[in-house]
């Protein structure tokens, strides 16, 4: 490629980069801006002391971690059971997964809201965690992955007299590590950012997660933009850290995921 074309290419790429990251840079910069200009940490001090961002951060972390761990475990067991056809009518259950992928959330949210009220779980950690203990995309991913693994290893284990649980968790699970890693990252990020369910199924500050807190704070008299942006940074940084740490897995996860469709 000739140098002019090459420079032109980089100019275009960089221009696009500015467009894509400018709003996020603006968020960071604003969060450190004082009321009378200058660089300050006051906005962060405010949201953690006067506002309850410590609590929201704790809630978001707690819920995302529990949901992630549960999904790794349950998506694994469910995906395995489907891949190895351990349940009669396995196809039926496989189809339920595909159907749920197509069902928009808004149609189930009102009954789920009423149900949570009925069983006394409205506005609790249970409401934030329970519906998401296992997710269809995760099961689908594990099922596809396990299907490509040879059965011979499991049979060898059986011949050696290993119990089913031992085979499952000592032989198959380690083999699934790549897919479970992608699954864990995706579940964590999705759950961390989720808004609709937490917003509708909780109401008090005690169970509020970061996205809900931020959405509710806009328009309040007692908070200004730099503070709001400081709160946004708190909500973005953990996901950003996960992304930077697992960049390769995330990118290959998305590209590979698409190919299976």
Partner 1 sequence: MKRPIAFSGWLLLLPWIAIFLVFWFFPLIYSFILSLTNYRLLAADTQWVGWANYARLLADPDFLISLANTAIFVVGTVPVTTVISLGLALLVNGRFPGRAIFRAAYFLPSITAMVVIALIFSNLYARDGYLYLLARLIGLNPPAEGFLLSEKTALLSIMAMDVWTAAGYYMLVFLGGLQTIPDELYDAARIAGASRWQQFWHVTLPMLRPVMLFVIVINSIKSFQVFVEIFVMTKGGPLNATLTGVYFVYETGLRRFDFGYASAAAYVIFLIIALISIVQFKFLKTGWTA
Partner 2 sequence: MGFFAGVLAGLLCLSCGGKQPQQTKLVWWQFWTDTAIKPTVQEIVRDFETQHPGVAVELVDLTWADGHDKISIAFSSGTGPDVIELGSDWVPEYSSTGHLLDLTASADSVKPNFFMWKPGQYEGKTYAFPWILGTRVLFVNPSLLTRAGYPAEFVPGNWDELLEASKKINDLDGNAFGFGCNAAERHRLYKKFLPFLWANGGDILSPDGKTCLLGSVQAIAALEYYLKLCHTGLTDTQRRLEDAFLEGKIGFIISGDWLLKRLAAEKPDFPFVTAVIPGPNGPGASFAGGEYLAVNAKSAHSQLALELIRHLCLPENQLRFCLQNRSANPSSRKAAADSALLAQPHFDTFIKQLASSKTPPVHPQWVYIEDKLEKGIEAALYEVKTPQQAFTDAAREIQELLDQ
Give 3-state DSSP helix, strand, coil % of the chain, rounded to 5.
Answer: 75, 0, 20
- Judged by CB under 8 A, which stretch of 42-50, 146-154, 172-180, 211-219 contacts partner 1? 211-219
- Residue where the block lists tokens 């953690």: 48
Which of 4, 39, 107, 159 is the binder for partner 1 (CB under 8 A)? 107
Q: Is 133 helix (H, G, I), strand (E, B) or coil?
A: coil
Residues 27 and 236: their CA atoms lie apart, in Å, by 10
- Residue where the block lists tokens 């660089």: 39
* 50 touches partner 1 by CB under 8 A: no
Which of 3, 37, 38, 88 is the binder for partner 1 (CB under 8 A)? 88
Both tokens of 189, joined, read 């990020």
Residues 163 and 216: their CA atoms lie apart, in Å, by 51
Q: Which does 204 bind (CB under 5 to 8 A by kind): partner 1, partner 2, none?
A: partner 2
* 149 touches partner 1 by CB under 8 A: no
Which of 47, 72, 97, 180 is the binder for partner 1 (CB under 8 A)? 97
Comparing CB distances to partner 2, the nearer of 41 and 215 is: 215
28-45 CB burial, b ≥16 within 10 A, e <16: eebbbbeeeeeebebbbe
- Judged by CB under 8 A, which stretch of 16-24, 39-47, 145-153, 171-179 contacts partner 1? 16-24
CB of 246 to partner 1, least distance (A): 11
Which of 63, 64, 67, 139 is the binder for partner 1 (CB under 8 A)? 139
């Amino acid at each position: 490629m000739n140098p002019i074309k090459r420079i032109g290419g980089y100019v275009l790429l960089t221009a696009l980069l500015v467009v894509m990251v400018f709003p996020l840079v603006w968020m960071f910069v604003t969060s450190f801006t004082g009321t009378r200009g200058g660089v300050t940490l006051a906005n962060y001090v405010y949201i953690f002391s006067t506002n309850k961002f410590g609590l929201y951060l704790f809630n978001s972390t707690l819920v995302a971690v529990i949901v992630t761990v549960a999904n790794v475990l349950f998506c694994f067991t469910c995906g395995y059971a489907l891949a190895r056809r351990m349940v009669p009518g396995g196809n039926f259950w496989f189809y339920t997964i595909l159907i749920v992928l197509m069902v928009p959330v808004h149609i189930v949210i009102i009954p789920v809201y009423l149900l949570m009220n009925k069983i006394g779980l409205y506005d609790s950690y249970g409401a934030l965690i329970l519906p998401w203990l296992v997710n269809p995309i995760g099961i689908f991913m594990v099922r596809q992955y396990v299907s490509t693994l040879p059965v011979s290893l499991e049979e060898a284990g059986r011949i050696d007299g290993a119990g089913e649980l031992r085979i499952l968790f000592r032989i198959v699970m380690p083999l699934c590590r790549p897919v479970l890693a992608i699954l864990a990252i995706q579940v964590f990020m999705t759950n961390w950012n989720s808004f609709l369910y937490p917003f509708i199924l909780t109401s008090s500050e005690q169970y509020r997660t970061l996205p809900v807190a931020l959405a509710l704070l806009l328009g309040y008299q007692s908070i200004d933009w730099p503070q709001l942006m400081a709160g946004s940074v708190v909500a973005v940084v953990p996901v950003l850290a996960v992304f930077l740490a697992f960049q390769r897995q995330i990118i290959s996860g998305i590209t590979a995921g698409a190919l299976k469709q």
